[in-house]
Amino acid sequence: MIDRQTITRVYDTANIVDIISDYVSLRKRGVNYIGLCPFHTEKTGSFTVSPGKGIFKCFGCGEAGNAVSFIQKIERCSFPEAIKMLARKYNIEVVETELTEEEKKKEQEREEMFLANEFALKWFEDQLWNTDEGLSVGLGYLHQRGLQDDIIRKFRIGYAPNKNLLYKDAESSGMSVDTLVEANLCGKSERDTGDKYYDIFRDRVIFPWFTLSNKVVAFNGRILHARENTGKYYNSPEKTGFFEKRRELFGLNFARKAIQDEKFCYLMEGQMDVISMVQAGIQNAVASSGTALTQQHVSILKRFTSAATLIYDSDQAGINAASKATKLLFESDFNVKLILLPEGEDPDSLSHKMNASDFIELLQREQVDFIEYKIKVSKQQLEDDPLALTPLLEDICETISAIVDPIKREVYIKRASQLLNIDYNAIKTKVGLLIRDKIIQKEKDELRQQTRELRDKEQVADSSSEETGKTSTIQVSSKVPDVPLTRRQSLERDILISLIKDGRKPIMTYDDGSSLTMASFVFDELRKDGLTFSLPVHQRFAKEYETKMNEEDFNAEHYFSTHIDPELAALASDLLIEKYQVSKIFDSTVTSEKEEKISEEKLKRLREQETENLYRHIVKLIIQLKIAAAEELFEQLNEKIKEAKASNSLDLQKNLEIHQVKLLKYKQDLQKALR
């Protein structure tokens, strides 16, 4: 376990804007920064980062937290791993204390996977550059493909000889072979050949895959000598939470800054295409190598840009892939262009046939919208069969219906009408019907999903009630629940906002000079009426606040926004990033220079006015909370009275009604106090 002092240093040093900017394009708005949320699909930025408070919050999906919880979520790693990543970024020494056995095991397994991949990466590079076989076979092949040494080194391409050497060298260096097996770098031999293990990557040029934080998570090996029943390429298999192809874009770790600068990206299918583009001087290129473009890929790209130019192969498979990718991108409100390269060519082959400037000029010149692209690729078919226009128009209308922006959609409808010489109203009607069908289908899917979730919850509840003594482990999310709050819960939230921002401020001053803080008043008032917060996370927050509030150096904003409990940190972020503040009557951060310009008497009046306003504000909230709690209890008594009537329990019914009368009187007294 990492000691608290190290964690505090990381929190104090980490610049949340710099950290999140590595993953999301942020723009300044007032004192905060705004961007597109990396945790859900959106077209209007609702992801807010507060550099002053060191927190973030998405007003769209509810995700909230601090720099550490952001890294946990985006990198899909544990709290200790996130702390270590940030510590490395800021050159902070990590001091660790004893972990539990389970924590040790989980952290060790993941760290060993990264270490195994890092060892293999360096080993493959060493084989390429420092062995005769690597230089003649591996480097020879890469040079034959037209790659220059600086590009080979940039992408850290390596070589795996056709021998079982990796696991032997790893074992000699003290690395566990079991870890290499777990990382799918080696396999256990089932044949009696003398070797217990064998290298999985053999006789291949090796292309590593990196995360956005430049950690190697997988390898792709290109075979150099064709063998029967052996594929040309071999990829590291997927491992949930570690390497998932649907979430990884090849080259994004190198390209993200250029994508942000250029405000668009080139999107292609193959890793060699990306490497050749970079060699030609085009840095903003990525590929969904080894899999079709997915919604997760699009969401990741959306963090950096909302414009993409697709360069896919000109064969039928490439055309189909480009069509599917276009629809996905339109659904996420991307501006999309496509490039149709000459038949039989790809970015890799063309970049080696042309000089860099001519190649770049070709790419810029050949960019077309998807309708023109569709017509170009269908030209021969249309010439041979005029009836082919019908399925082409269906396909174009289907793609237009995926466009989110209605103005952009209208532009494409007019474009299709002009290029295909088809009546504008006919295309508009068809697109409208397709959009309607999608809305209906989406509603059906959502209803099915809600039904499934409800059924699953009921099954969990039934299971919990039947199996006493057993508990289930629930993963804590940094997402603030998006379930609508009750009136009571909303008032609880408002009180917590007051506590975290103004809890230590005085709201009443006594004749002897002593004062009563807002926090003390709140907890005294709640305790007086036996009132507690209704939401568990609110309860935990209040309990910890009350425990800490009398400590001299307690700073609620900093303490909770950097809390190791992700749910409390998320709640703090949610409370702190608001469009309003509790008190604006007097800003206690007024500089001494400004204070000097205000007379002592006026300054005293301002402070008294702030104290009075804070008092009125919190008293009103407390009374409203008590009223809301009384109303909830009144409704609960109503239900119990109905049950008592149904069971003919007259005495119980009478007692409950007496309690209701008292509750009504209590509520009336509270309402009078509000006036």
Whole-Å CA distances, 345 to 213, 380, 556: 33, 18, 61
- Has residue 414 got a pLDDT over 90? yes
Q: What is the DSSP letter of 269?
A: S
Per-residue pLDDT averaged across 116-145, rounded?
Answer: 94
Three-state SS for 190?
coil
- Has residue 607 got a pLDDT over 90? no
- Token duo for residue 494: 């408002």
Per-residue pLDDT averaged across 182-189, rounded?
Answer: 86
- Has residue 41 got a pLDDT over 70? yes
Beta-carbon-side half-sphere exposure of residue 249 (alpha carbons within 13 Å): 27
Per-residue pLDDT averaged across 185-190, rounded?
Answer: 84
Most confident stretch, 83-87, 289-293, 473-477, 577-581: 83-87
- Given CATH 3.90.980.10, say whether it is the number of domain 105-241: yes
Percent of the chain with pLDDT over 90: 23
* CATH 3.90.980.10 residue window(s) in the chain: 105-241
**94 or 150, higher pLDDT:** 150
- Has residue 306 got a pLDDT over 80? yes
Per-residue pLDDT averaged across 389-410, rounded?
Answer: 90
Per-residue pLDDT averaged across 550-565, rounded?
Answer: 83
* CATH 3.40.1360.10 residue window(s) in the chain: 247-368
By C-alpha distance, which of 257, 254, 262, 289 is closest to 273?
A: 289
> Sorting pLDDT into bands at 50, 70 and 90, what band is 138?
very high
Per-residue pLDDT averaged across 268-272, rounded?
Answer: 90
> Sorting pLDDT into bands at 50, 70 and 90, what band is 581?
very low
Per-residue pLDDT averaged across 327-331, rounded?
Answer: 92
- Has residue 149 got a pLDDT over 90? yes
Lowest-confidence segment of 145-159, 410-424, 465-479, 587-601 by average pLDDT: 465-479
Per-residue pLDDT averaged across 419-443, rounded?
Answer: 88
In angstroms, the CA 250 to CA 79 distance is 26
Do 637 and 661 contact (CB within 8 A), yes or no? Answer: no
Per-residue pLDDT averaged across 168-194, rounded?
Answer: 82
> Sorting pLDDT into bands at 50, 70 and 90, what band is 598?
low
- Has residue 128 got a pLDDT over 90? yes
pLDDT at 597: 53
> Sorting pLDDT into bands at 50, 70 and 90, what band is 398?
very high
Beta-carbon-side half-sphere exposure of residue 559 (alpha carbons within 13 Å): 17
pLDDT at 270: 87
Number of H helices, E strands in the chain: 29, 18
> Sorting pLDDT into bands at 50, 70 and 90, what band is 104?
low
pLDDT at 458: 54
CATH architecture of 247-368: 3-Layer(aba) Sandwich (3.40)
Fold of 4-89: DNA Primase; Chain A (3.90.580)
- Has residue 447 got a pLDDT over 80? no
- Has residue 145 got a pLDDT over 60? yes
Task: Please write the tens of the pLDDT for every residue from 462-495.
Answer: 554 444 343 333 333 455 545 578 888 889 999 9
Per-residue pLDDT averaged across 289-295, rounded?
Answer: 84
**311 or 386, higher pLDDT:** 311
> Sorting pLDDT into bands at 50, 70 and 90, what band is 157?
very high
Question: H or E stretch including 382?
Answer: helix 379-384
Q: What is the DSSP letter of 187?
A: E
- The pTM score is 0.60
pLDDT at 368: 92
Most confident stretch, 133-147, 161-175, 643-657: 133-147
Bridging pattern class, strands 265-268 and 307-311: parallel
* CATH 3.90.580.10 residue window(s) in the chain: 4-89
Write the DSSP string, 652-675.
Answer: HHHHHHHHHHHHHHHHHHHHHHH-
